[in-house]
Amino acid sequence: MKIIHEQVQALRGLTLHTIETKKFKTNTFILRLKQKISEDIVTFRSILPYVLQNSAKKEIRKKLDELYGATLNISIDKKGEFHIITLRIEAVNEKYLPTKTQLIEHVLNLIFYIVMNPWRNQDSFNEDVIQKEKQVLKQRILSVYDNKIRFANKRLIEEMCKEEPYRIHAYGNMIQIDQVTSSSLYDYYHQAILEDQIDLYIVGDVNHEKNVEIVDKLLQYEIRNNVVKLDFESKQKEVKQVNYVTDEQEVEQGKLHLGYRTYTNYGNSDYYALQVFNGMFGGFPHSKLLTNIREKESLAYYISSRYESHKELLFLMAGIEIQNYEKTLHIINKQLESLKRGDFSKTDFQRTKTLIKSQLLGILDDPKGIVEMFYRNVVNDCQKTMEDWLLGIDNVSESDVIKMAHKIKLDTVYFLKGRNK
């Protein structure tokens, strides 16, 4: 018997995913629209979901109240070289209500009302809403510059992926915001709703066959014949020499961010070895980076590493004193070399695997985490179950970690430092 099971059904141009579980007293509904990221559309996509939500704000709020205090959240994200729009509603399971009601159908009807039938004035959206959301998006972009860790990560990716769509930030850019109009946004909305890959997830104590029946009925008048098949592409960029980039701003603490090419994507058999490698390199408190750079040498206020599941990249982030740049970089490189030599204990190796498995099982405690786990399969065009993950981690050997350490190549070193220092 599977730990957690997903049932999938293609329906009228979207894919319905039902995850039946009695673990939660609420049902979670997550709709995701996926498209390849490009500079031509990213700013439109960053504004669009908030316009859909706020064009009929009062009506939506009233409907949420009628759904026993259901909550609605909108977000935008980038997964590899795909741009993702997410709409999430959490509502109480109708089985716990004192009176019988078709709450699931009402929630789905609200979701499709927001996305498929938004308020509009003929062939354009409300101009006031557009202008407000354009200002909000500008503030979101500015907030990246204000947060120096996020800014440094943004600059690292821009420098590391200059020739790749991954360089594009999920929020778009300032220049394009002013070019968005109520009519041009509506034109793009029409394109997205016809061409985006749409996945609907329902998590909770629900019935898949019933969900199929409801969705099929609610979408009977929708036509989505132009859905573009979005294939996952794995492009291997050879690192010929390390790229060193330095920016200067009014900062007291330096931000040292490194980008590595892993040449390993989510669908590869050695993906599990990458997870273990990252845990031993900088992913956990007992890792090489934290033990040797933060604790032993006291060179970093923070330091960690993480891998990008959808883009074959691994990132290292550290906050350091500006004068310690050369020393810290030298010791970071030594940690990778030590993993290449197999210089790690069996205790740390087994502890890493145990912590990873604990994190994986922890996903089951959160409906959003469950959806993220299954949506990785959609983004990467492959199929992995929780059982695959757990078994994959169990099967990673010490030699697999050593091979992964040799496979990884440093691509870009980015350093944000203070002026005149």
Residue 101 has what pLDDT? 81
pLDDT of residue 3: 87
- Tell me what percent of the residues of the chain surpass a pLDDT of 70: 97
233 CB-side CA count, 13 A: 11
Q: Taking all residues of the chain, what is their mean pLDDT, rounded to a whole number? A: 92
The structure's pTM equals: 0.93
Asked if 58 and 241 touch (Cβ cutoff 8 Å), the reply is no
> 323 burial class (0-12, 13-18, 19+ CB within 10 angstroms)?
exposed
- Mean pLDDT throughout 316-320? 97
Mean pLDDT of 236-255: 91
Cross-strand pairs, 198: 14, 33
Structure tokens at 12: 């009228």
**Cβ neighbours of residue 377 closer than 8 Å, sequence gap 6 or more:** 383, 384
